[in-house]
C-alpha cells in the first residue's frame, strides 16, 4: 500500500513535470495528488485543448445506462462502481478509490429519447494484474495507448454543460493537426461521441476539475505529425 502510494506520487510528479513543459495550464488535477489517477503523457497543448496519450490499463465499466439525464445516469453508474470497490465483487475485495470517474456519452437522436451512458472506474495499480469480476460490470483493458483530446472546466457538471463543453472542444480542434484523427474516430464510431471525466467527490466545492475527452486511435497519430 505504502509503495503503491509512493509510486503514485512519483507518477504524478513526472506527469506534472511533463505537463509543465507542455503548457502552464496543463497541471495535474489536485485530487490526483491524493488518490491514484491513470498515467498519461501530454503530447500537445494549445488554445483550450490538450492532447494526451494514456497507457494501456484495466478499467471497470457499467453496462450502458439509458437515461435522459447525464447527471442521473452518472450517479446511478457511480453507485454500482462504489459497491464494487466496497467489496461487492467476485473476490469480496475492497479496492481503493481512483479518479477520474468517466461517463461515456452516446447522445440520442431526439429531445425525448433516452441517451446511453457507460460509467467507468480506473483500476488502481495494485489490482491491475487481476481486477475482480463482478455481476453486471465489465472489466476491460484499453487496447493499446489511447489518445484523448481534452478540455477542462470547473464547477459542478450540469446536464446543459456537457454538450456545450463538447462543442467548445470540437471547435477548438478544428483547423489543428488533430482534427482529422478526432473526426475520423467519430466517423468510425458515431455512437461514442465523447466522454466526461470527473475528479472530485460531490461534496468538494473548491478546486473542482472536470474534463471533456474525445478519444481517438493511436494508428492515426502519424497524420498528427511528429509531436515529440
Ligand X SMILES: *[C@@H]1O[C@H](CO)[C@@H](O)[C@H](O)[C@H]1NC(C)=O
Pick the closer one to ligand X by CB: 133 or 207: 133
Residue 206 engages ligand X in binding (rule: CB under 6 A): no
C-beta closer to ligand X: residue 87 or 202 = 87
Q: Which of 14, 17, 55, 91 binds ligand X (CB under 6 A)?
A: 91
The residue of the chain with the least Cβ separation from ligand X equals 92
- β-pair partners for 106: 116
The answer to whether 135 contacts ligand X (rule: CB under 6 A) is no
For residue 84, the minimal CB distance to ligand X (Å) is 13
* Interatomic CA distance for residues 102 and 76, integer angstroms: 13
Cβ-based nearer residue to ligand X, 82 or 91 = 91
Residue 47, interface with ligand X (CB under 6 A)?
A: no
Nearer to ligand X, 92 or 206 (CB): 92
- All cell numbers assigned to 53: 496519450
DSSP state of 79: H
- Shortest Å distance, C-beta 172 to ligand X: 48
Answer for which of 1, 3, 92, 109 binds ligand X (CB under 6 A) is 92
Nearer to ligand X, 47 or 92 (CB): 92
List 116's β-bridge partners, or say none: 66, 106
Three-point CA angle 3, 207, 117, nearest 5°: 80
d(CA 29, CA 12): 10
**Rounded Cα distance, 103 and 201, in Å:** 15
Q: Which H or E element spans position 135? A: none
88 vs 152, beta carbon nearer ligand X: 88
- Least distance in angstroms from the C-beta of 63 to ligand X: 22
Minimum CB distance to ligand X, residue 93 (Å): 8
CA dihedral 54, 122, 100, 6 (to 10 degrees): -80
User: Which of these, 26, 35, 44, lies nearest to 199 by C-alpha position?
Assistant: 35
- The residues binding ligand X (CB under 6 A) are 91-92
Amino acid at each position: 500500500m505504502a509503495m503503491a502510494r509512493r509510486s503514485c506520487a512519483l507518477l504524478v510528479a513526472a506527469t506534472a513535470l511533463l505537463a509543465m513543459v507542455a503548457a502552464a495550464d496543463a497541471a495535474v488535477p489536485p485530487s490526483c495528488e491524493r488518490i491514484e489517477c491513470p498515467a498519461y503523457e501530454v503530447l500537445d497543448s494549445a488554445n483550450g485543448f490538450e492532447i494526451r496519450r494514456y497507457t494501456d490499463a484495466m478499467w471497470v465499466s457499467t453496462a450502458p445506462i439509458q437515461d435522459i439525464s447525464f447527471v442521473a445516469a452518472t450517479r446511478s453508474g457511480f453507485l454500482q462502481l462504489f459497491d464494487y470497490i466496497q467489496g461487492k465483487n467476485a473476490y469480496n475485495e475492497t479496492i481503493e478509490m481512483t479518479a477520474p470517474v468517466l461517463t461515456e456519452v452516446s447522445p440520442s437522436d431526439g429531445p425525448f429519447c433516452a441517451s446511453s451512458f457507460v460509467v467507468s472506474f480506473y483500476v488502481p495499480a495494485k489490482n491491475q494484474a487481476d481486477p475482480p469480476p463482478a455481476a453486471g460490470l465489465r472489466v476491460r483493458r484499453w487496447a493499446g495507448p489511447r489518445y484523448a483530446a481534452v478540455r477542462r472546466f470547473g464547477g459542478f457538471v450540469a446536464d446543459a454543460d456537457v454538450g456545450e463543453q463538447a462543442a467548445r472542444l470540437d471547435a477548438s480542434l478544428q483547423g489543428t493537426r488533430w482534427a482529422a484523427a478526432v473526426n475520423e474516430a467519430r466517423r468510425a464510431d458515431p455512437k461514442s461521441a465523447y466522454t466526461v471525466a470527473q475528479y472530485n467527490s460531490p461534496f468538494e466545492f473548491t478546486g473542482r476539475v472536470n474534463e471533456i475527452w474525445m478519444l481517438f486511435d493511436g494508428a492515426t497519430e502519424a497524420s498528427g505529425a511528429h509531436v515529440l
